[in-house]
Chain A
Amino acid sequence: MTLPMERHVLVVFPHPDDEAFGVSGTIATYIKQGIPVTYACLTLGEMGRNLGNPPFATRETLPHIRKEELLASAKAMGVTDLRMMGLRDKTIEFEDDEKMVGMMENLIADTNPSLVITFYPNYAVHPDHDATGRAMIRAIRRMPESSRPKIYALAFSNDSKGVLGEPDVVHNIKESKEEKMGAMRAHISQTAWMLEEMDKRLADGEPEAENWLHFERFYTYDFSKDFE
């Protein structure tokens, strides 16, 4: 599937690995189409609970491991503009709201994106996800309507489909399957259980096309149905 052309795509998530499951195929596809992609990752997932069983990492070594994984994931997707924003995992919502909006405004000013991909506030489960989406939506809302980038928002809370309906943007990313698997494997400290689960489902006869290796789904953010 060829995706519609974009000037520049800005992807903003709080944790290394947030990009892998839901967006890495889309990112790789854009890059293969020659569209520049910037991935800003706000934290290094310092508070992750997966430290191996038996543990291979500690609370203090985990950020180093996840930083390397993030670099490897970027490489797998072909991302050359990766920005690590230096915040701490699980604290985004407690940062000053205006500081967060300012960070997003700077990223937008710097990359001049025609498309921004982030989380859908209130439907993204993790407080950091919601806070990241919130800051980005606020930053874009303040722009003149004519110069706002389009927003693809990720929602996966249990009530998201009931309230928002089905995602209106569906990317068939089958041709970027290898890049996506590369991103998933890059974050192995956090994705091992997910990959095991996938192998089990495939072994149980679930067609591969049903799962996340073929499709990535987004909501086009609609300011007429603003979250606040």
Chain B
Amino acid sequence: MELVNVEQLQELLNNFANEDVYIHLETTNGAYASHFNENVFNAGAFIRNVMLRYELGKVVGEAPHRIGLKLPHGWVYAQGITHFELDEHGRLLMAGHDQSGKLAVALQISRTPFTY
């Protein structure tokens, strides 16, 4: 993974627009967040291999970046994205790593389903 380059990432987002794609979207504090600190309200969400089609994808803001996908009838967005990669299977992987390197958010787009 590399630090987000806005121009490159924008071009990759454009490449997946207007076709059926599989999405992985995840936000997390980690399962131990409120074990280590009882004041942490532990919330997160996860979807994987949900198929959708977006008409506009945008990367916005200074690092960490925000990514928004506009759908015909809705939206997907992620904030806190720091890194990206087009992997060997042609999948666009985006992730947000916190100050200690731990993953906090992931948004991934693929033309084929991700593994289980």
Contacts and interface: CB of A to CB of B under 8 A. Distances in A.
A48 B32 CA distance: 11
A60 B91 contact: yes
A88 B116 contact: yes
Given A59-B108, A125-B32, A52 B93 contact: no
Contact of A55 (B1, B26, B32, B114): B1
Interface in A43-59: 47-55, 58-59
Nearest to A193: B100
A59 B30 CA distance: 14
Contacts of B74: none
Contact of A90 (B1, B24, B31, B32): B31
Interface string A150-163: 00000001100000
Interface in A27-78: 47-55, 58-61, 63
Interface string B70-88: 0000000000000101010
B93 A59 contact: yes
Contacts of B114: 60
A7 interface: no
A48 B97 CA distance: 12
A167 interface: no
B33 to A, nearest CB: 10
Q: Which 9 A-B pairs have the closest CB atoms?
A: A53-B101, A49-B102, A126-B31, A49-B103, A55-B1, A125-B35, A58-B93, A59-B106, A49-B30
10 contacts: A51-B103, A53-B97, A53-B101, A58-B1, A59-B106, A60-B91, A60-B93, A125-B31, A125-B35, A126-B31
Given A49-B28, A49-B104, 18 more contacts: A47-B26, A47-B46, A49-B30, A50-B102, A51-B101, A51-B103, A53-B97, A55-B83, A55-B97, A55-B101, A58-B1, A58-B95, A59-B95, A63-B115, A86-B116, A90-B46, A125-B32, A128-B31
